[in-house]
Amino acid sequence: MSNEHTHTITEEELVARLRARDAAAVSLLYDMYSSTLYGVVLQIVKVEAVAEDVLQEAFVKIWNSFQSYDESKGRLFTWMINICRNLAIDKIRSKHHRVSEATRDLPTGYRPEFASDAFKPEHIGVRELTEQLNPEQKQIIDLMYFEGLTQSEIADEFNIPLGTVKTRARSAIKLLGKLFKGRA
């Protein structure tokens, strides 16, 4: 990382070398940006080992798709940070990551019955209100808000068109809003 050359190369020179598929330029790129990009990824995924994996995946993607980088649309760092951010978000949204996070060992002394300050939908009657939705709307709301799935994940998992998922979610939220107003 203390390679003197990394501090004297301009972004334009680095981009030109990467476009020419100069493998040594990837090392320079890594030396110049990896610690900052790692910090961004770690902020999103929260687990060091996962952040390291995402960063490695990001650099492979950067190298393999470098021809798509367009300097007229933004700086190199901005382009790379977007790749890292998107990969990190994809990682935390992945079913495998959610399952591994849910099954990680809980800290010693963890006692959920004492977690009285945790948000519990039943305290404000959300669960009761969702019972008033039709079964299709209820399923979408349960999966989105209580299971944490995205609309795209629901569409894929249940083989439902994404537009249908969005329509059901929107109509369910409108109905829940009316039901909440009626209770106030």
CB 76 within 8 A of CB 15: yes
Closest listed residue to residue 65, CA positions, set 80, 75, 55: 80
Q: pLDDT tens digit string along 2-28?
A: 444 445 799 999 999 999 999 999 999
- Chain region(s) in the chain for CATH 1.10.1740.10: 4-101
> With the CA atoms of 58, 60, 61 and 67 taken in that order, what torsion angle do they form, in degrees rounded to the nearest 10?
130
Quote the pLDDT of residue 141: 81
> With the CA atoms of 103, 114, 145 and 152 taken in that order, what torsion angle do they form, in degrees rounded to the nearest 10?
-20
The whole-number average pLDDT for the span 126-131 is 72
The whole-number average pLDDT for the span 50-77 is 94
Quote the pLDDT of residue 99: 64
Quote the pLDDT of residue 128: 73
Across the chain, what does the average pLDDT equal? 80
Q: pLDDT tens digit string along 137-171?
A: 888 887 877 667 788 888 888 888 989 988 988 88
pLDDT higher than threshold 80 for residue 73 = yes
- Chain region(s) in the chain for CATH 1.10.10.10: 121-183
The topology under which CATH files domain 121-183 is Arc Repressor Mutant, subunit A (1.10.10)
At residue 96 the predicted structure's pLDDT band, cuts being 50, 70 and 90, is: low
The topology under which CATH files domain 4-101 is Rna Polymerase Sigma Factor; Chain: A (1.10.1740)
